Structure 1
C-alpha cells in the first residue's frame, strides 16, 4: 500500500515528515482502554533488573533500584501498540522498548490508559514515561494548549523514535468524494481526542468557516477504535489517524472489507517518548539507549518486522518536533 505526503499549512500545524509506502501484517485485535484509577492490562518488556547492561549506569538510581520503567500507553492503536490474541501488549512501541530495556538493564512495563491523560500521568508520577504514538510538538514540549495558546502545564521533553504522517479513511466504497482535507467541509469526522489528527481537524473546521463553506463537524472519542465504530455505524463520514494505524485498519478490519484510505498523507512529524521536564537523567538515558538500538541494527529489524521502514529514523533526537 502506498501513499504520498501532501504539504499542508493549517495554523502552523504542518510537520516535515518523510513517510512513504507501508506494508502492515497480522490480524487486528482491538481492546478498550482502561481507566486511570488502576493498572489495567499492564505488560512488561525488557530484561530483568540487575542484569548486566551497557547503559545501566546512565539511569537514575531510583529506576535502577526498581528495575522497571513504568510506561503510560493507549494500548489500542495497532500496529504501534495493541493486544494480541493472548492479551499480551505487542507492536512497534513494545518492541522498541524491549530493545532499549536490554541496553539499560530494566523492564519497560506498559500500563493501559486513555491517550488524553498520559501527559497528566507523568506529572502525577503515575508513569515514568509515555510511549504511545505521541507526536512531538512544540505545544506539548512547552505545556501549551493547542486551542487557546495558553500555558496549561510544565510541558514534557521527547526522545524521538519514529516518523509518521496523517491519513483520512472512510467506509469502503463510500469515499463521498473526499480526496483532500478541503473536501471535509460539511462532513462529520470521528477522531481520537487530543491527538495530532484532532488538532488538524479543528484547524480544518476553522478554515472551512473562513472560506465561507459549511464547517467540519468533529466527534472525538477516547480511542481510535471507538471513532471507527462511529463511522461504521454511519454516524460519521470519515476518520483521521496516523498513517500506520490507518493502513493497518484498512488492511485488517473486517478482513480488509470495512475501510479505505482516501487522498494522500499529510505532513506530520516525529513520535516521541515523553518524559517529565525535571527528569533529564532518565531522558538522556533513553536517548542513549535508543541510539544504541539504532546503531546495532536492532531498530532496523523492528521497523522491517512491522512494515514501517519508511518511518524509520537514524538519530535519536531530543525535542525534534516543531
Structure 2
C-alpha cells in the first residue's frame, strides 16, 4: 500500500470509477486438487492352450480398451470446458497447472499451507473490514484467487502501513500486500526522505496500477485544484504513503506562498475523520481510495475529488529479496488468473477495471 495512490491503470491514466459496494464480499473457496491417479493392474497367468482361454483373454483386452476410450472421452470433455469445470472456470488442464504452481512454492510454505500477508486493513476498497468484521476488498479477493491457484491460503494480518516492510524483513509476514506502490527506493531499501539506505529492500510482483488524488470536503474545495494550490494550507494523509511524499516534494516549490502543513496519520480512515471534522483543508490518497470515500462517506455527502490524479504507478506484492522462489510462484499464479479471467472478475466487482495490468511484472516501478 504504498498507498501511493496511483490509479491510472493500465498505462492510460483514465479515471477509475468506483461503484457502490453491494455489501457482499467475494467468498472464494479453495477447491481440492483435482489430481487424477491411474491404477494399473497386471496379472501374470500361464497361457492355456485352449480356445476358450484365448477368447477370455481377448474379451478382457476388449473391455480394457473400452475403459481406456471412455477415460479419454472424459478428459476431452473436461478440456472443452464441460463437466469438470469449477465455478472459477478451472478445468482438468487448469488443475494440472495448479499442481505445477504449488510445486513452485518454497517447502516451508507448502508445509504450513499458508502465506502470511501483512496488510494495513483500513484502506477501502483495497482492503478493509466489513460490517461483520471480515477482511474484504480488492487485495483479499486477489489473494484468495492466487491462493486457489497455488493450493494454499493467503492469510491477511493487520499492521500499520509504514511497518509492513519491517515485518517482512523480520519474517513476521511472508509477503506484504496493501496497495503498496512499487518504487525503486523500496526495491533498494532507501529512505525516500533522506536518500540513505536503511535495509536490503524488497522485490515486487506488480498487480495493479493507480494514481494519487486530492479530495476536500464536499462543496468547500478552498480553491484547491492542483498540488500547487496546497501551499499555505493543511493536508491530511496516511503516514509513509506517496501522498505524503508528494506533499513534501511540493513544499520545496511553495516559496512565498507558504509551506504546506502536512498532518500524517497511521491510516487513511483517521485522516478522513480529521478532514471531515474540519481539521484540514484537503486530504490525499490513492485514487481508488479517494473515489470510494467520495462516493460512500456520509452517503456521498462528505467529500469530493478535486483536480486530476497524478503519479500513476504500479501496486506491488512485496516479497523479501532472499525469497525469489515465493516471488516467482506468486508471479506465475498472477499470470494464471489474468489469463483465466478471474482477475478481471475481481476488478469488475470493485469497479476498478481501469487499473488492470495485462501481465505480472517483477520490480516494474520507477
Q: Kindly provide the CA deviation profile for residues 105-132 of structure 1, in whole angstroms up to 9, marking residues without a partner as x.
A: 0000000011000000001000000000
| Superposed displacement of residue 19, structure 1 | 3.7
Distance in 1 between residues matched to 2:292 and 2:22, nearest whole Å: 9
User: What does 1:96-135 correspond to in 2, within 5 Å?
Assistant: 96-135=142-181
Equivalent residue, structure 2, for 1:78: 124
Equivalent residue, structure 1, for 2:260: 216
Q: Does the CA-based 8 Å contact 1:142-1:151 persist in structure 2? A: yes
Equivalent residue, structure 2, for 1:166: 212
CA RMSD of aligned residues (A): 2.2
Larger radius of gyration: 2
Residues 225 and 165 (structure 1), Cα distance of their counterparts in 2 relative to 1, 3 Å cut: same
Q: Does the CA-based 8 Å contact 2:168-2:319 persist in structure 1? A: yes
Question: Under a length normalisation based on structure 2, what TM-score does the superposition of the two structures give?
Answer: 0.77
Residues 220 and 319 (structure 1), Cα distance of their counterparts in 2 relative to 1, 3 Å cut: same
- Structure 2 unaligned regions, length at least 5: 1-5, 36-97
Tell me which of 195, 199, 207 is aligned to 1:153.
Answer: 199
**Count of residues in Structure 1 that have an aligned counterpart in Structure 2:** 295
Tell me which of 14, 20, 30 is aligned to 1:47.
Answer: 30
Residues 83 and 300 (structure 1), Cα distance of their counterparts in 2 relative to 1, 3 Å cut: same
Q: Do structure 1's residue 295 and structure 2's residue 339 form an aligned pair?
A: yes
Residues 17 and 208 (structure 1), Cα distance of their counterparts in 2 relative to 1, 3 Å cut: farther
Q: Does the CA-based 8 Å contact 1:48-1:107 persist in structure 2? A: no
Q: Does the CA-based 8 Å contact 2:216-2:281 persist in structure 1? A: yes
Distance in 1 between residues matched to 2:28 and 2:153, nearest whole Å: 5
Bigger share in helix: 2
Distance in 2 between residues matched to 1:6 and 1:288, nearest whole Å: 24
Q: Does the CA-based 8 Å contact 1:46-1:99 persist in structure 2? A: no
Q: Does the CA-based 8 Å contact 1:92-1:302 persist in structure 2? A: yes
SS of 1:150's equivalent in the other structure is coil
SS of 2:253's equivalent in the other structure is helix
Residues 312 and 199 (structure 1), Cα distance of their counterparts in 2 relative to 1, 3 Å cut: same
Q: Does the CA-based 8 Å contact 1:163-1:312 persist in structure 2? A: yes
Q: Does the CA-based 8 Å contact 1:71-1:129 persist in structure 2? A: yes
- Structure 1 unaligned regions, length at least 5: 8-14, 29-43
Equivalent residue, structure 2, for 1:261: 305
Distance in 2 between residues matched to 1:301 and 1:114, nearest whole Å: 29
Tell me which of 243, 262, 265 is aligned to 2:287.
Answer: 243
SS of 2:257's equivalent in the other structure is coil
Residues 6 and 293 (structure 1), Cα distance of their counterparts in 2 relative to 1, 3 Å cut: closer
Distance in 2 between residues matched to 1:70 and 1:45, nearest whole Å: 17
Distance in 1 between residues matched to 2:215 and 2:258, nearest whole Å: 20
